[in-house]
Amino acid sequence: MNTDERTYSMSEIREQRRVTTQRLALEQRRLDALAKMDEAAAELEQAERELEALRRGETQAGEPAEAVHGEPEPHAIGERSAKILEDHADTWLVPRDILAEMDKRGWVDTDTTHALQRLRHALRRVAISNPNVERDESGATFRYRYVSSRIDGFAVSAVPQGNGAAYPALQRGQSNG
């Protein structure tokens, strides 16, 4: 008798699938919670640095540090990535490109491997929460872009046929950028 031969019942397979799905969902929740904690810790560190700068007299009391620069600087990694995507509107960017831009702006305060992992989790949340941010999952590396103008739903527009006569057609609001 061959020991490599395995037999499974459908009920065993379904039970294993159910348990694995449940375990995977719980691990994903745990991973998301850890990413949020990591982002919150980075934000807390930033606030503590600003408080220390205030104590040393580098900024005026009662005036937020961002007021010196005009536009408030985003603190959380999700806000920073959304700002970069918006600054590069309608352009597909991979997380490494976004991280390089963050580094250029002085927004990376840890090693790049750790920052890249945090960024990937943050980008996932940004794509879910921001309707202008799209996520392309078709390749090995997810790509993200901020869509500056979007036609919601379907719009009827006239499309000329080969002989020049126009007829109504449904036009989808997404483009292949």
Q: What is the value of pTM for the model shown? A: 0.47
CA distances from 6 to 1, 14, 19, 149, 162 (A): 11, 16, 20, 55, 61
**CA 92/CA 123 separation, integer angstroms:** 13
- Per the structure block, which two tokens stand in for 98? 């976004």
pLDDT tens per residue, range 164-175? 555 555 444 444
Mean pLDDT of 126-149: 91
Mean pLDDT of 148-172: 54
**CA 25/CA 29 separation, integer angstroms:** 6
Mean pLDDT of 136-141: 88
Give percent of the chain above pLDDT 70: 72
For 43-71, the DSSP string reads HHHHHHHHHHHHHTTSS-TTS-GGGGTSS
**How many Å is the Cα radius of gyration of the chain?**
24
Question: Would you say residue 14 has pLDDT above 70?
Answer: yes
Give residue 87's pLDDT. Answer: 93
Confidence category of residue 49, pLDDT binned at 50, 70, 90:
confident
Range of lowest pLDDT (56-65, 83-92, 133-142): 56-65
Give residue 111's pLDDT. Answer: 77
Give residue 66's pLDDT. Answer: 44
Question: Would you say residue 128 has pLDDT above 60?
Answer: yes
**pLDDT, the chain, mean:** 78
Q: Are strands 166-172 and 133-136 parallel, antiparallel or unpaired?
A: unpaired
Question: Would you say residue 151 has pLDDT above 80?
Answer: no
Q: Where is pLDDT greater, at 162 or 133?
A: 133
Range of lowest pLDDT (101-110, 123-132, 155-164): 155-164
Determine the residue type at 77. I
> DSSP character for 75?
-
Domains and CATH numbers, the chain: 11-146 (1.10.10.10)
pLDDT tens per residue, range 20-30? 999 988 888 88
Determine the residue type at 161. Q
